Amino acid sequence: MCSIHWQHQFSKMHLFLLLLLFIRVSTFELSNSATERDALLKVMESWKVNYTTWVGNDPCSGWEGVRCNNLGRVTYLNLSNTGIVGPVPEEITALQYLEVLDLCNPRYGVKPQLNAVSGDLAPLGSLIHLRDLNVSFNDITLDSFPSAVFNLRNLVSLRIDNLRIAGPLPKELVGLTKLKYMYLANNSLTGPIPPEYGNMKSLQEISLWNNNLESKIPPEFGNLLNLTYLNLHECNLYGGLPQELGNCRNMDSMSLYGNSLTGIIPDSWKNMNKLRILWLHRNQLTKYFPEWLPSLPSLYNVSLDYNLLYGPVANFPNASLKIISFTCNYFSGTAPTAPPPLVLNFTGNCFDPIDNNNKIRCQQQYYDCSAYLKELPNGSCPRCPGLQSLEDPKTCVCTLISPVSETSSSKGKLVGSILGVGAFLLIMVLLWFLYKWYMKSTKPFEDLWYGPEGVIRYHVEDIVTATDNFHSRHEIGAGGFGKVYYAVLDGKEVAIKRANSSSIQSTSGFRNEVVLLSRLHHVNLVRLLGFCEGEGIQILVYEYMSNGNLFTMLFKRKTSLSWLTRLDIAIGVAHGLEYLHTFADPPVIHRDVKPSNVLLDNNLVAKLSDFGISKVAPGFDSEMPTRPCGTAGYIDPQYVLTEQLTSASDVYSFGVVLLELVTGHKSIDNARIDGQNLVEWVAVKLSSEGPESVVDKRLGNDYPKQIFHDIIRLGLDCAAFKSGERPSMKAVVTILDACRWSVATDVSVPNDAESSIVNEGGHSHGVVVGDQDMEKTAESLERFSTDAMSVVLPR
């Protein structure tokens, strides 16, 4: 009886304790929920987020962009594309269980809400459970990498690209041992690439493109056996291709183009059996075509354009390969053949018979085939790029010329400095006395200026002879600067622009313009070859563009550009403008982007023309007062209203050109009954009738519908009335490159992808798509980084 009573009392006590525990846990969870709720509301207030669903006491119950775990703790916060502005609020530190934080701009619609997160991200350093951090495409400007990231030891995915972060690539990232996806691209980071990154064995994807790394590719990357994606394009890399990368047998895609890499393509790379995409164009690689390359079982897309490769190329076998391009090299012998549907691009080589015109257009350091092949007897090495010297004569790898050793004693440096200063002063005194003596004993001498290095000073007599004294039959165009003439100088086809009387500048102004133009080097800018000046004469000599301008090609010829060529032209113009805005020194605003200033070379590669000293922005994107100028239909309306010039003015003009490419309509057409202004006409038609109503009827139905829909929306965004609502050219390039990549990786695209011009009867002129196929495409829409993934357009 006592035993039963005791058991009964124990059951009561047990239930009581369980009830207390339940109450305590519930209270604890409610308290934590309230803390996180308050933190989220304060974050919303600080960042001016306007979520109508963020009401009530429980953020885990239907709050947009918020997810929780089973314990009611916030683990996921997605504020991408919400228009948040300002530094990261301190209140976010209360979200201690946060695992995913997305603050980027992954969608790009007609009315984007662009995020502008700023500051050093310091509050994020306490969120030690973060596994996925994405702050891409924000307004973060820093002199060094945000140190808060180093505390996040559980990170698996780090996307901190397309920002303005400077300073060296941090070695401290090695402490993030769980990191699989590292995206630091399109910043202002400097190198070298830390070899310690080779110890981050979990890494699967690395994206560092468009940073000024001035580095070799660390051979330690060969230790990253899980690596599938490596993107280091346009990073100012030098040295050779590490043979150790052949250990990365899981490699799927490798993009190393636009650097100064030298040497051979290592035979060890044939071990990368899963490799699908290999882009090595625009380097200075040499030696022979790798015989094993076409036989890689998964290989899909290869670009070796604009290198120094030579020797024979065998015919291509039936394989997985769909696109291979090696234009502008020095391959010789019989041109190779390829089975369909393989697209093969090989213009600008030394195949029999040698096409000197195409070779000249490549504009490489060696003038033609004979000059290059004579300099390489018995397989010796070509000249190293500037500021590099030969490191390995067997592989022809070059390296940077070593700076003066820093191990010299301070005493030696001091003595050297004193002697150097003394010698300099002595020389200056002697020069002064010589100058005074010369000026007294001679007549004033002629001011002969030879111009900057790499630009030819032509004699007036040579130009007069080449143009038959500027005869009208040599005229190929005219503009505000003056008339343009076709001529052949030193065996090269050139375009000669002669200033008319109203365009003649002061001597110093003209010379400053020549110096500026000589510094602008990009595949999508018309290149300045030389100049001529004399009494009442100012002449600029440019490369000749055999296919004229886009206006004539688009609106005056019976032939119609294919959809793929239109896309490539848009990408080319975008890249040219991005270079002027971002990479030119000093930056340049074009001010007159229009189809007649887009020239097309023999391969229909688009190049911008008609930019110069008058467009230099002294404090770029700080507004520059100037007189309104440009061409009706392309002028930024904000520019007309305020007379303030920014890079957004070029973006507006580009948007109009992009819409012209898609629609085949002119920017202003008084005969267009339902809308004379193209931007307004497209906006109305797109809204009421869909994209098919505005796409050029000459294309029929043979174009990718979704991609063109996205491009139309991008054109409207670029041509937004308010300049603050327009994307930067950097964002435009990323979006268009992503669209182009989706074409390159989609075997179901329309069949006209292999022809550039189709006449009205639908018959191909047989012009093979040029090297832009490989050069202009960026990353895959499905997974290739914030480089593209963050700007996938909504379907």
Task: Determine the Cα–Cα distance for residues 497 and 492; give it in Å rounded to an integer.
Answer: 16
What string of DSSP letters covers 241-257?
--GGGGG-TT--EEE--
Question: Quick check: bond before 341 cis, omega within 30?
Answer: yes
Within 10 Å of residue 410's Cβ, how many Cβ atoms?
7
> Which of 475, 490, 499 has the alpha carbon at shortest distance from 548?
475
Q: Please state the three-class secondary structure of 743-759 as a single string.
A: HHCCCCCCHHHHCCEEC
Helices (H) and strands (E) in the chain, counts: 15, 37
Report angle CA 73, 79, 85 to the nearest 5 degrees. 125
**Angle at the Cα of 701 (from 699 to 705), degrees rounded to 5?**
100
Which of 783, 753, 746 shows the shortest CA–CA distance to 768?
753
Structure tokens at 624: 């520059």
DSSP annotation of 267 reads G
Give 478-485's long-range contacts (Cβ < 8 A, gap of 24+). Answer: 479/610, 481/540, 481/610
Contacts (Cβ under 8 Å, ≥6 apart) of 64: 51, 53, 54
What b-and-e string marks burial along 711-723, b requiring 16 or more CB atoms within 10 Å of the CB?
bbbbbbbbbbeeb
Name the residue with tokens 């490596």: 230
Q: Which 8-state DSSP code applies to residue 590? A: -
Cα–Cα distance measured from residue 517 to residue 504, given in angstroms and rounded to the nearest whole number: 17
Those residues whose C-beta lies under 8 Å from the C-beta of residue 569, and which sit 6 or more positions away, are 550, 561, 598, 600, 604, 606, 661
Contact by Cβ (8 Å): 696, 559: no
The region, left, alpha or beta by phi > 0 then psi within -120 to 50, assigned to residue 520 is beta
788 near 780, Cβ under 8 Å? yes
Rounded Cα gap, residues 524 and 575, in angstroms: 7
* Helices 647-663 and 705-718: angle between axes, nearest 10 degrees: 150
How many other C-beta atoms can be found within 10 angstroms of the C-beta atom of residue 169? Answer: 20
Is residue 549 within 8 Å of 631, Cβ to Cβ? no
Cα angle 511-517-522, degrees, rounded to a multiple of 5: 165
Q: Which residue has the tokens 């191909």?
A: 764
Residue 527 backbone phi and psi in degrees, to 5: -85, 135
- Give the closest residue to 155 by CA, choosing from 174, 124, 131, 121: 131
Bridge partners of 389?
399
Query: Is 497 labeled as ligand-binding?
Result: yes
| Cα–Cα dist 240/261, whole Å | 6
Residue-by-residue DSSP string for 191-259 = -PPPGGGGG-TT--EEE--SSB---PPPGGGGG-TT--EEE-TTS---S---GGGGG-TT--EEE--SS
Candidates 161, 252, 305, 592; catalytic one: 592
How far apart are alpha carbons 39 and 706 in whole angstroms? 40
Establish how many alpha carbons lie within 13 A of residue 296's alpha carbon, considering only the half-sphere containing its beta carbon.
Answer: 30
Residue 120 vs residues 142, 143, 175, 569: alpha-carbon distances, Å: 7, 10, 19, 38
Active site residue 592: yes
Which residue ranges are tagged as binding site for ATP? 497
Q: Which residues are catalytic?
A: 592
